[in-house]
C-alpha cells in the first residue's frame, strides 16, 4: 500500500465519521488470512494494491452528493484511491462479517469476501454514505477465492447501480469503475475451462451495506450481546427517525424493514428487473437493491425467467417468485431477531405488513403503468392484473410494450372505435412483439378484448390519450440496461474502448425521456443475443 494521501485540496470535502468500526466490536486479529471470525461485526483489512489503475467510469451525480468536485479524469489520485492503492485521511477500511441462506440452505459464515468498506462519509447535506471497494483483494472472509473482480461483472455492477437509481428503484449506488491493469482467472461457465480476464474495482456507495445475514450469523452463533448491539446501532445510525431503541422501537424498526423490502420488490416488478440471487446475504437491511451479480432485465415477458445459470433448474429466483422469496427471507431475519426481541406476535405482525404493503403497492403500481389513478377501483385493479397474462400470449418485450401502449391511439372520448382505428392501435403494439407475423389471431383477439375494457375505464374516468401517455411515460422507462447492451459495453472495454460505458450511463440517467439520437439503445434484443452468454443468462462467476 502506498502512503496515505494527506492533500487537502481535492479531497477536503470527504468528512469521515466511521461509526460502524467505532461503535461495534471488531475482530482482534489484525492479520489478513482466511478464518472464522467470532464475536465481531467486522475485520479491519486494507485493499490490495494494483499494478496500473485506470478510471473507466465515473458517476458525477454520486460524486456531487458526496461533495467531491474534482475532475476525476485529470486527477491521477482518483484511480489510485478508488483502485485501492491509496487511503485518504480518515478512512478506516474493514470487511463485514455475516452469514446467510443461499438457495434456501444455511451457508454459515460468508462475509465480505472481496468487498472492503473504506469508511463512512458525512456529505454536505448530512447524509451518511459508506464507500466500498468491490474487487479490492482478499479478506478474512474470502474462503478459497482471491477477493478480486473481473471487468465484465464490474461494468455490469457500475452501470446497473446507477441505472436503477434513475429508474426510481431503491438501490446502492456506484461512484467509480477502475481497471486494474491485471488479469484475473475465472471459470465463467463452471465447466472446467478457466481463462484470464481483465480485472477491475467498483466503488459502491450506500447509506449502509448491512444485510440480513449480519444478524443471522450472530443469532446462529448465539452471540446475542453483539446481536443486540448491532440491532441498536442499525436503528440509531440507519433509522434515526425512529428514535432511541426500546422494545417497541425495535419492532417498529423490523416492520419498516419489511415494508421497505416490499417497496423495493414492487419497483423491481415495475421495471422488469430480476435480481437472480436473492440469498439472505444479498438482502439489504435498508431495503436497497444490493449485489448486482447475475441479474437481468425481462425482455420476453416470462415470469419464470431467471438470469442465473445456477438457478436454471429450480428457478427459485425467477421474476415471478421474487415477491415470495422476499417474504421467505424476512421470515429468516425474524427468526434471527427473535432470541433478543422475544415477541413472536410482534414479529409476525411486521411480516404480515410486508404482504399488505406489497399487495397494495403492487396494485397501485400496475394501475399507474396504465396511466390510471393510484387509488384505482376494483375494476381497474382487476384489469391491470390481467395484462401480464396477455403479454405471455406472444413473445412480448415488456419495456417496449408499455411505451407502445402509451402512444397507441385509443381515443377514449369516442364511444366505439372503427375497424380501421382498431387496426391502427394494434399495429402500434406490434413494435413490442419479437415475431409479429407469428402472433396468433386468438392472441390478437384476446388483446383487443382487453383493450376494449381498458378504453371503457378511460372513457368513464375521462382520461384522454394525452394525459394517459404523460402518466404512463413517467413510470414506464424507455431505456433500461438490456443484457446485450451491457455485454457490448463489456466487450468494447475489454478491447480498450470504454466509451460505450459512459454513453450508456448518460442515456440511463434519463430513462423515461425520449432521446431521439439514442433510439438504437431502446431497441429490443436482437436475435443474435437470444442465447449468447452474457446476453441471456449469466453465472455467479465474477
Concatenated DSSP letters of 325-393: HHHHHHHHHHHHHHHHH--HHHHHHHHHHHHHHHHHHHHHHHHHHTT--SS--HHHHHHHHHHHHHHTT
pTM: 0.96
In a shared domain, residues 151 and 93: yes
In a domain, 530, yes or no: no
Residue 107, C-alpha cell as written in the block: 451457508
DSSP 513: S
Helix 441-460 × helix 378-391 angle, to 10°: 160
In a shared domain, residues 355 and 299: yes
- Stretches where the chain sits below pLDDT 70 are 1-9, 541-542
In a shared domain, residues 360 and 232: yes
For 340, phi then psi, to 5°, come to -105, -20
Q: Where is the domain boundary, 473, 498, 531?
A: 473
**Given this model, what pLDDT does residue 7 score?**
52
Residue 116, C-alpha cell as written in the block: 472492503
For 380, phi then psi, to 5°, come to -70, -40
In a shared domain, residues 135 and 28: yes
In a shared domain, residues 252 and 171: no
In a shared domain, residues 170 and 40: yes
In a domain, 74, yes or no: yes
- Options 27, 281, 311, 393, the catalytic residue: 281
Residue 383, C-alpha cell as written in the block: 384489469
Tens of pLDDT, residues 338-396? 999 999 999 999 999 999 999 999 999 999 999 999 787 899 999 999 999 999 999 99
In a shared domain, residues 26 and 156: yes
Q: Where is the domain boundary, 151, 185, 210?
A: 210
In a shared domain, residues 77 and 115: yes
For 430, phi then psi, to 5°, come to -65, -20
Q: Where is the domain boundary, 369, 387, 409?
A: 369
What's the number of domains the chain is made of?
3
In a domain, 484, yes or no: no
DSSP 136: B
In a shared domain, residues 446 and 324: no
Q: Which domain holds residue 108?
A: 15-210
In a domain, 496, yes or no: no
Closest Cα to residue 82, out of 206, 184, 207, 205? 205
In a domain, 421, yes or no: yes
Q: Answer for the pair 512, 477: CB distance below 8 angstroms, yes or no.
A: yes
In a shared domain, residues 259 and 400: no
In a shared domain, residues 205 and 178: yes
In a domain, 498, yes or no: no
Known catalytic membership, residue 281: yes
Strand partners, 44: 94
In a shared domain, residues 196 and 218: no
Helices (H), 408-482: 419-429, 441-460, 465-473
Closest Cα to residue 183, out of 150, 207, 135? 150
Instruction: Quote the CA–CA distance of 486 and 500 in Å, as a whole number.
Output: 9
In a domain, 325, yes or no: yes
In a domain, 482, yes or no: no
Amino acid at each position: 500500500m502506498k502512503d496515505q494521501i494527506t492533500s487537502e485540496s481535492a479531497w477536503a470535502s470527504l468528512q469521515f465519521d466511521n461509526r460502524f468500526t467505532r461503535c461495534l466490536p471488531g475482530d482482534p486479529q489484525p492479520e489478513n488470512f482466511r478464518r472464522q471470525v467470532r464475536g465481531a461485526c467486522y475485520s479491519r483489512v486494507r485493499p490490495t494494491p494494483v499494478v496500473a489503475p485506470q478510471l473507466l467510469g465515473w458517476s458525477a451525480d454520486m460524486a456531487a452528493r458526496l461533495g467531491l468536485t474534482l475532475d476525476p479524469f485529470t486527477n491521477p489520485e482518483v484511480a489510485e484511491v478508488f483502485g485501492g492503492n491509496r487511503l485518504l485521511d480518515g478512512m478506516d477500511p474493514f470487511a463485514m462479517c455475516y452469514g446467510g441462506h443461499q438457495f434456501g440452505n444455511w451457508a454459515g459464515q460468508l462475509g465480505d469476501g472481496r468487498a472492503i468498506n473504506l469508511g463512512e462519509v458525512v456529505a454536505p447535506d448530512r447524509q451518511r454514505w459508506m464507500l466500498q471497494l468491490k474487487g479490492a483483494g482478499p479478506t478474512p472472509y474470502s474462503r478459497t477465492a482471491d477477493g478480486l473482480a473481473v471487468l465484465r461483472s464490474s461494468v455490469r455492477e457500475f452501470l446497473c447501480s446507477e441505472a436503477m437509481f434513475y429508474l426510481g428503484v431503491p438501490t446502492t449506488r456506484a461512484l467509480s469503475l477502475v481497471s486494474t491493469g491485471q488479469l484475473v482467472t475465472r471459470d465463467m461457465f463452471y465447466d472446467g475451462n478457466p481463462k484470464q480476464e481483465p480485472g477491475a474495482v467498483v466503488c459502491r456507495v450506500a447509506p449502509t451495506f448491512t444485510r440480513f445475514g449480519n444478524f443471522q450469523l450472530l443469532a446462529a452463533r448465539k452471540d446475542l450481546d453483539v446481536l443486540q448491539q448491532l440491532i441498536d446501532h442499525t436503528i440509531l445510525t440507519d433509522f434515526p427517525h425512529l428514535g432511541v431503541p426500546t422494545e417497541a422501537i425495535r419492532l417498529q424498526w423490523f416492520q419498516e424493514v419489511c415494508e421497505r423490502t416490499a417497496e423495493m420488490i414492487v419497483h423491481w416488478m415495475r421495471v422488469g428487473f430480476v435480481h437472480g440471487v436473492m440469498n439472505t446475504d444479498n438482502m439489504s437491511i435498508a431495503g436497497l437493491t444490493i449485489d448486482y451479480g447475475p441479474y437481468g432485465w425481462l425482455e420476453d415477458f416470462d415470469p419464470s425467467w431467471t438470469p442465473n445459470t445456477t438457478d436454471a433448474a429450480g428457478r427459485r429466483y425467477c421474476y415471478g417468485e421474487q415477491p415470495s422469496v422476499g417474504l421467505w427471507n424476512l421470515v429468516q431475519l425474524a427468526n434471527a431477531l427473535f432470541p433478543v426481541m422475544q415477541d413472536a406476535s410482534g414479529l409476525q405482525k411486521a411480516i404480515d405488513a410486508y404482504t399488505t404493503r406489497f399487495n397494495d403497492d403492487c396494485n397501485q403500481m400496475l394501475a399507474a403503468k396504465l396511466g390510471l389513478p393510484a387509488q384505482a377501483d376494483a375494476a381497474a385493479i382487476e384489469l391491470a392484473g390481467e395484462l401480464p397474462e396477455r403479454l405471455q400470449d406472444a413473445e412480448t418485450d415488456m419495456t417496449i410494450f408499455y411505451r407502445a401502449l402509451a402512444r397507441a391511439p385509443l381515443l377514449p372520448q369516442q364511444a366505439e372505435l372503427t375497424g380501421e382505428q382498431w387496426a391502427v392501435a394494434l399495429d402500434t403494439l406490434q413494435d413490442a412483439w419479437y415475431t409479429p407475423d407469428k402472433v396468433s389471431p386468438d392472441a390478437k383477439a384476446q388483446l383487443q378484448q382487453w383493450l376494449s375494457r381498458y378504453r371503457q375505464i378511460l372513457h368513464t374516468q375521462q382520461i384522454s390519450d394525452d394525459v394517459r401517455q404523460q402518466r404512463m411515460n413517467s413510470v414506464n422507462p424507455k431505456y433500461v440496461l438490456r443484457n446485450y447492451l451491457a455485454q457490448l459495453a463489456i466487450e468494447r472495454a475489454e478491447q480498450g474502448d470504454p466509451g460505450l460505458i459512459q454513453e450508456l450511463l448518460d442515456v440511463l440517467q434519463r430513462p423515461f425521456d425520449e432521446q431521439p439520437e439514442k433510439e438504437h439503445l431502446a431497441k429490443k434484443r436482437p436475435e443474435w443475443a437470444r442465447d449468447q452468454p452474457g446476453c441471456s443468462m449469466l453465472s455467479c462467476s465474477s
